[in-house]
């Protein structure tokens, strides 16, 4: 028996799905569901392709209470700009959680991944950042630097942003974009310790393979969300900084052991504390979050299939009549 499948382009998705509180709430619901009995999320299928300067991730999750589940293919081929091609692309498919039948194909070229990644940063800020944030900082100057700050501003409406990047011109351009889009004061900060000292919230958005944030940069009242370590070997937070934090939270323990900031601490033999809480456990009220305004907190986001399922389900609800319907 034939059934209807919707095919949706990146342009249609961008028009229907802004980065807003509805997207943040959708991803927050996925974290809560991930902490509930019955959630199924297999390990990330990840390929590092050094011969072509590329990587590919495949993620999925089936979540109780969700009508559908997504399977996401996310390639990153970083020599593509020299060929006139984008570095990132990919797609998501949404299948029925009850029958497994294909419901939608989202030809998003990575937009939904960008959206759900930024929304996850906002969830982390909502549950871990101080209730008042005056100055936020971002380490990195790419798409996620802009989107993470925009998402964080939805839940912690700060008035000032500082941007650090290896390329000063790119940092200045990123700061100008943030100022224009959010209506806040924003400037490039060439000194990373000075940036962290001024901020109550810092987001790291780099593919770094050596630490950016050191223990000396931590100060009372600081929250750091690290979202760049999503492949084995990547590392944004120094091991001693991770250990020194009053609270370290991850998106999925099994993932951060293999590819997150915790991996480096385990390999160095310096992690001797109990298992850290997962963000979903904070959202669901199963574990405690920030204990005081002076706590130092770190959230390690490697990106989960639960977020992909959440944003794909949110997309289907938000699309209205957009997209092409075919019978298969």
- List, as one string, the DSSP characters of 118-144: HHHHHHHHHHHS-S--SEEEEE--SHH
Domain that holds residue 230: 128-303
Q: Do 163 and 190 belong together in one domain?
A: yes
Q: What is the CATH number of the domain that holds 175?
A: 3.40.50.720
Structural domain contains residue 190: yes
Q: Do 293 and 275 belong together in one domain?
A: yes
Q: Do 186 and 148 belong together in one domain?
A: yes
Q: Do 189 and 239 belong together in one domain?
A: yes
- Number of domains forming the structure of the chain: 2
The whole-angstrom separation of Cα 42 and Cα 36 is 15
Q: Per residue of the chain (328 residues), give pLDDT as tens.
A: 678 999 999 999 999 999 999 999 999 999 999 999 999 999 999 898 999 999 999 999 999 999 999 999 999 898 998 999 988 889 999 999 999 999 999 999 999 999 999 999 999 999 999 999 999 999 999 999 999 999 999 999 999 999 999 999 999 999 999 999 999 999 999 999 999 999 999 999 998 788 999 999 999 999 999 997 777 778 899 999 999 999 999 999 999 998 889 998 888 888 887 889 999 999 999 999 999 999 999 999 999 999 999 999 999 999 988 889 998 8
Q: Do 151 and 249 belong together in one domain?
A: yes
The whole-angstrom separation of Cα 12 and Cα 21 is 19
């Amino acid at each position: 028996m034939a059934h209807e499948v919707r095919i949706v382009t990146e342009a249609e998705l961008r028009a229907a799905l802004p980065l807003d509180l509805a997207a943040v709430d959708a991803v927050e619901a996925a974290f809560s569901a991930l902490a509930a009995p019955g959630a199924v999320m297999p390990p990330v299928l990840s390929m590092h392709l050094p011969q072509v300067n590329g990587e590919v991730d495949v993620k999925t999750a089936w979540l109780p209470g969700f009508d559908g589940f997504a399977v996401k293919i996310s390639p990153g081929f970083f020599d593509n700009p020299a060929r006139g091609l984008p570095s990132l692309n990919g797609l998501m498919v949404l299948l029925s959680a009850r029958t497994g039948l294909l419901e939608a194909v989202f030809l998003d070229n990575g937009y939904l991944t960008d959206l759900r990644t930024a929304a996850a940063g906002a969830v982390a800020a909502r549950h871990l950042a101080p209730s008042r944030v005056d100055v936020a900082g971002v380490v990195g100057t790419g798409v996620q630097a802009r989107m993470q700050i925009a998402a964080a501003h939805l839940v912690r409406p700060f008035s000032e942003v500082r941007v650090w990047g290896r390329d000063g011109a790119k940092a200045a351009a990123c700061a100008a974009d943030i100022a224009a889009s959010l209506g806040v004061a924003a400037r490039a900060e060439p000194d990373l310790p000075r940036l962290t000292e001024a901020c109550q919230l810092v987001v790291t958005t780099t593919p770094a393979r050596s630490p950016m944030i050191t223990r000396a940069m931590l100060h009372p009242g600081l929250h750091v969300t690290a979202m760049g370590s999503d492949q084995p070997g990547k590392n944004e937070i120094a091991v001693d900084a991770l250990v020194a934090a009053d609270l370290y939270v991850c998106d999925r323990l099994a993932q951060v052991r293999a590819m997150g900031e915790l991996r480096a601490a385990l390999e160095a033999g310096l992690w001797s504390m109990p298992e850290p809480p997962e963000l979903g456990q904070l959202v669901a009220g199963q574990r405690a979050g920030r204990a005081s305004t002076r706590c130092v907190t770190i959230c390690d986001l490697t990106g989960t299939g639960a977020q992909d399922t959440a944003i794909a389900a949110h997309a289907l609800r938000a699309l209205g009549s957009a997209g092409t319907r075919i019978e298969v």
